A = this chain, B = another copy of it.
Amino acid sequence: MSTRIGGMTAGTPKRPRKSPANPLGKGPGRPHAGTSESKVDQIYGALKLAIVGGELPPEAPIDKVDLCARFGVSRLSVTTAVNRLAFERLVVVEPQRGSYVSRIRISDVRQWMMIRRALETEVVGACAQHLGDDWIEQLDRNMAYQRTAVKSGDLDGFHQLDIAFHRLLIEGMGLDRVGEILESVRTHVDRTRRLLLPEPGRMPATLKEHQAIYRTIADRNPSAAARAMHEHLDRVLGELEAFQERHPNFFTD
């Protein structure tokens, strides 16, 4: 598909660099396959994925020396990566005590969704006014894929397409800074969602809402677009709150 799935990662400063993979370093040269990423970026990404994917649940301790051995790097790289995650509130590091995956605060989830709703509502209104036809065409393609995913019941694929749909709106308007904030927010929201949501029955409803949003954009109706997005995200928030009520043990506050 032409809609990129793994495009913008929030906040990571990119560096245009080739890495010759350090042929002669002392210490155990880990011939980890050729990645052009910096070492801290690698660890940062891996940890983030593990946390968001639920592999590292809240309260899970983060053993830095173990990670050093696992990735074949020094403590500094691991520490830097963990500090970055702490900056994003995904982990908590207590000096001289240890680091662990942060718990999820109910108030935080509500705020993330509020932020998402406010920003995406604004964005979709702008989209309905100024989004280029080529981008609308891409949205159309994405909708087709979504329909296919729903038909075949591909839950994970639909989730990816869901993300891509929302990302297209941002990218199409060139709002990269807004996109960074939303990526960060989505990270947190996804963490709670992955933890608690295996509900396939929601797919058709979500598809319908996406289609409504798409239609208002294609029709160039900003206020309707904002309304549709608002309703869409309100529904997601309601979903999350229902889950929070059913699984109170995962949350704080």
Contacts and interface: CB of A to CB of B under 8 A. Distances in A.
Interface of A: 11, 13, 15, 17, 80, 83-84, 86-87, 92-95, 107-108, 111-112, 114-115, 117-119, 121-122, 174-178, 181
A30 to B, nearest CB: 12
Contacts of A92: 13
Copies in the complex: 2
A176 B114 CA distance: 12
Contact of A177 (B111, B117, B122): B111
B17 A175 contact: no
A233 to B, nearest CB: 12
B13 A175 contact: no
Given A17-B95, A84-B87, A87-B84, A178 B11 contact: no
A118 B122 contact: yes
B177 A115 contact: yes
A59 to B, nearest CB: 17
Contacts of A119: 115, 118-119
Given A107-B174, A181-B181, A15 B115 contact: no
B175 A111 contact: yes
A113 to B, nearest CB: 11
Given A17-B95, A107-B177, 10 more contacts: A11-B87, A13-B87, A15-B94, A84-B87, A87-B87, A107-B174, A107-B176, A111-B175, A111-B176, A119-B119
Interface centre among A87, A92, A112, A178 (most CB of B within 10 A): A87
A234 to B, nearest CB: 13
A134 B16 CA distance: 53
Given A87-B84, A87-B87, A118-B122, A112 B177 contact: yes
Contact of A93 (B13, B95, B178): B13
Contacts of A94: 15
